[in-house]
Amino acid sequence: MEQHRCVWANGDPLLERYHDEEWGNPLCDDQKQFEFLSLEVMQCGLSWMTILRKRAAMQAAFDQFDYQKIACYRDDKIAELLENPGIIRSRKKIEAIIHNAKCFLKIQEAEGSFSKYLWSFVNGVPQRYPDGERNRPYNELSEQISTDLKKRGFKFLGRVTTYSHLQAAGIINDHDAACFKSREGQAVKPAEILGSTVLVAVDRPLGSVHPSHPDIVYPVNYGYVPGILGGDGEAQDVYLLGVDQPVPSCRAVILAVVHRRDDNEDKWIAAPERYTFSKEAIWEQVWFQEQYFDSELIMVDE
């Protein structure tokens, strides 16, 4: 499928993949937070392409950015890193990353997790600024966070580098308006709706024929949640599992979210209260439709 992506992210497969799969995805994983922070430190004064090309070598050299290991690096490890031609050989940057790993651990200890600490500045909500106020070198938010990071001892994370990190970690959503990822983060996040009860209105009952693909007969009830908009601006679509006859509507609990990487809308999976399904069992029931998309399943306990 032809996709519009941010203008800056076209032309190199490495860059395109980074944009499509990682950049700007709301990040809650501390290991990845530390990797992104460290890549930003390495990037100072260099092009991002240089960093992406050396990324695999840096992951290998820095123990996959395991901050606990990095916090314990000693002089002999620094000397070894400085002789590694695959990475950015800057003593200052390497020392900053080791130092930052120690500060990172302190934040984890004080705040529970680094992700939690960072998201607390925006109350967990990705920030989307109006046209003309996106993709700035820095802003008030990056200044505020950078000041706090500095206070906690971090190096190489000024307001500009911090801004880049906030973009990469999805705290600031700076995708171009036309980019296929620009709506992500604005729609309801899976973590917020998993486990909640909704009323599903069924407009494609079990056994009915797909309106535009007559060869598809719905093996499950399929409908939408009135009043909740999905990523495509239409009512949020839902697969209703656990009901083995056609029904006009049903109260159901959201068990999972199907995230389509190549589409602008997610699909929800719901079932009446007493039902649970394994990932495999859910896939089996939605495969008739999801086989045509590049989808992943997000479950309650993930």
**Contact footprint for Zn ion (CB under 5 A):** 6, 175, 179, 181
Q: Tell me the Ramachandran region of residue 233: left when phi exceeds 0, alpha when psi lies from -120 to 50, beta otherwise.
A: left
* Beta carbon of residue 122, minimum distance to Zn ion (angstroms, whole number): 19
CA atoms within 13 A of residue 273's CA, in its CB half-sphere:
2
Tokens, residue 236: 């949020």
Q: Active-site residue 18, yes or no?
A: yes
Round to whole Å and give the CA distance between 233 and 183.
10
Active-site residue, from 2, 8, 23, 40? 40
Active-site residue, from 8, 16, 35, 48? 48
- Map 51-115 to HEC letters: HHHHHHHHHHHCHHHCHHHHCCCCHHHHHHHHCCCCCCCCHHHHHHHHHHHHHHHHHHHHHCCHH
Round to whole Å and give the CA distance between 159 and 26.
20
| Nearer to Zn ion among residue 26 and residue 272 (C-beta) | 26
- Find the radius of gyration of the CA atoms of the chain: 22
* Beta carbon of residue 19, minimum distance to Zn ion (angstroms, whole number): 6
Q: Active-site residue 140, yes or no?
A: no
Tokens, residue 257: 């979210």
Q: Active-site residue 8, yes or no?
A: no
Answer whether 162's CB lies under 8 Å from 147's CB.
no
Round to whole Å and give the CA distance between 301 and 4.
32
Nearest to 47 by CA among 2, 106, 1, 88: 88
* Beta carbon of residue 224, minimum distance to Zn ion (angstroms, whole number): 27
Angle at 144 between CA 139 and CA 146, to 5 degrees: 90
* Residue whose tokens read 């990040």: 27
| Nearer to Zn ion among residue 54 and residue 181 (C-beta) | 181
Answer whether 297's CB lies under 8 Å from 257's CB.
yes
* Beta carbon of residue 217, minimum distance to Zn ion (angstroms, whole number): 37
Active-site residue list: 18, 40, 48
